[in-house]
Amino acid sequence: RVTGDTLERVSYILGIWKALRQLFPSREAYKRWPHLENSAPPFGGRTPVERMASGQVGDLYVIRAWLDGWRGW
């Protein structure tokens, strides 16, 4: 069985993937971005992967919302 928490996390991860695909047309670029240190407020010098791996579903939400804002959604 899949819990609501798991479905929420999968939804955010797929949204992050989709946003990265739209923002970075090359495969190398969209795969590299999550591993780069980022000085934007949601990351504070950490990599997006570090924030996503914190274990908090809210961190996935923040990254998804930030990417959606970056692409004008």
pTM of the model as a whole: 0.88
Taking the C-alpha atoms of residue 66 and residue 31, their distance in angstroms, rounded to an integer, is 17
pLDDT digits (tens, 9 = 90+) for 17-69: 999 999 998 999 999 999 999 999 999 999 999 999 998 999 999 999 999 99
DSSP string covering 39-66, please? Answer: -STTTTTS-HHHHHTTS-HHHHHHHHHH
> 17 is written with which tokens?
């993937």
| pLDDT for residue 73 is more than 90 | no
- End-to-end CA gap in the chain: 32
